[in-house]
């Protein structure tokens, strides 16, 4: 009889543990992506560097609350795979609720516009490291961190055969006084809205993002925005995608970079293609940033050629060559020589206006 009681207690304990596991659904995920590259700024000696390509570790989970509703969370942290170190919750970190009416998240969240557009064009190395899109206008998001602080986002359920609507609002800073010394305003805000369409091999993303009053120029009236559309189609034998973006900067990010005041705009184009052959992938990614309005020689071109070999579904080795070809410095007479021109795009710190960046490297990436 004692054995029967012991067995009953053990089975009950197993049942309780099973119920607890069913209520708590947590996944650990991430990737380690490191490359060894020879990098060069025009006119300088080349430097051999080990580069961390957005390595990360994360925890995500959900709990079924019944009635079609669930709670969800994510804590994602970036770490330095090249030199060690990192901090907790430095990437997308949020808590939220999901129901048949949609999903709401609160926290530190990348703009839905990035995931709907730019993210799809980074086929070679997932828009990381030296090959990431140098023309992405960070000032339209959160110029200090890119991941948007103090955010609330809403994503609709799928409707109309593949459409999803998303919106975001972010109170980027919550300080009580202006940070005049840093040219920062006290209470900048960000908002964005996107529409995604996914149907089989086709993805289309379209949206608008804007950050207001981030900079303290002209009494904190700065505005930076991005109107973006991207499309990607998987033909199975190859994948091709394209992006168009219209940026505006009014006493904002452009003034912070160049000193150029007033309202200016530019266009940015990008195409990306991938040819898979067995375990091999051949990549090309080409982007063009046009001159900012009322300036000369402030644009640039960027090209990446890449080769990936997939050792498994989670592990690959790769080689890539990337170059940013900045327009050279020339006097801008239309602006009273206030701006000497020269493209300002780089993936290497300390790059002067108008100087090119080049990198060639090999790397290893593992997802888990």
Taking only the tens place, the pLDDT of each residue in 196-243 is 999 999 999 999 999 998 988 877 789 999 999 999 999 999 999 999
d(C-alpha 47, C-alpha 50), whole Å? 10
pLDDT digits (tens, 9 = 90+) for 26-61: 999 999 999 999 999 999 999 999 999 999 999 999
- Residue 348 DSSP label: S
Q: Is the pLDDT of residue 10 over 60?
A: no
DSSP E strands in the chain: the ranges are 25-41, 47-52, 56-66, 69-78, 93-99, 102-109, 148-155, 163-171, 189-199, 202-212, 223-234, 239-250, 263-277, 280-289, 300-310, 315-326, 357-367
Token pair, residue 113, equals 């516009």
170 and 151 Cβ atoms separated by less than 8 Å = yes
- Domains, the chain, ranges and CATH? 30-367 (2.40.160.10)
Token pair, residue 108, equals 């530190």
d(C-alpha 247, C-alpha 291), whole Å? 11
Token pair, residue 323, equals 């170059």
318 and 309 Cβ atoms separated by less than 8 Å = yes
Token pair, residue 61, equals 């989970």
Q: Is the pLDDT of residue 15 over 80?
A: no
pLDDT digits (tens, 9 = 90+) for 88-116: 999 999 999 999 999 999 999 999 999 99
Beta bridge partners of 329: 341
Name the pTM for this structure.
0.87
Q: Is the pLDDT of residue 12 over 80?
A: no
């Amino acid at each position: 009889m004692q054995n029967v009681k012991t067995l009953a207690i053990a089975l009950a304990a197993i049942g309780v543990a099973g119920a607890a596991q069913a209520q708590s659904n947590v996944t650990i995920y991430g990737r380690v992506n490191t490359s060894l590259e020879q990098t060069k700024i025009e006119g300088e000696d080349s430097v051999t560097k080990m580069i961390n390509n957005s390595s990360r570790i994360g925890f995500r989970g959900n709990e079924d609350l019944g009635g079609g509703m669930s709670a969800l969370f994510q804590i994602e942290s970036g770490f330095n795979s090249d030199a060690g170190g990192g901090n907790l919750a430095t990437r997308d970190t949020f808590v939220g609720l999901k129901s048949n009416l949609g999903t709401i998240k609160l926290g530190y969240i990348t703009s839905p516009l990035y995931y709907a557009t730019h993210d799809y064009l980074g086929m070679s190395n997932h828009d990381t490291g030296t090959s990431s899109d140098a023309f992405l206008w960070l000032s339209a998001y959160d110029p200090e961190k890119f991941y948007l602080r103090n955010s609330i986002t809403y994503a609709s359920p799928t409707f109309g055969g593949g459409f999803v609507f998303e919106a975001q609002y972010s109170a980027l800073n919550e300080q009580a006084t202006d940070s005049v010394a840093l040219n920062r305003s006290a209470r900048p805000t960000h908002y964005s809205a996107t529409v995604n369409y996914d149907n089989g091999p086709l993805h289309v993303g379209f949206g608008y993002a804007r950050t207001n009053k981030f900079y303290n120029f002209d009494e904190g009236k700065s505005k930076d925005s991005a109107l973006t559309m991207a499309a990607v189609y998987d033909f199975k034998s190859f994948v091709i995608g394209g992006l168009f973006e219209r940026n505006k900067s009014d006493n904002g990010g452009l003034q912070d970079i160049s000193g150029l005041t007033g309202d200016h705009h530019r266009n940015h184009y990008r195409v990306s293609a991938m040819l898979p052959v067995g375990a091999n992938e051949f990549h090309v990614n080409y982007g063009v940033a046009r001159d900012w309005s009322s300036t000369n020689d402030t644009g640039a071109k960027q090209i990446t050629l890449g080769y990936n070999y997939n050792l498994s579904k989670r592990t690959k080795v790769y080689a890539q060559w990337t170059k940013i070809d900045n327009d050279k410095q020339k006097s801008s007479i239309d602006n009273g020589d206030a701006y000497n021109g020269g493209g300002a795009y780089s993936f290497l710190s300390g790059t002067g206006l108008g100087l090119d960046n080049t990198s060639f490297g090999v790397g290893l990436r593992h997802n888990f």
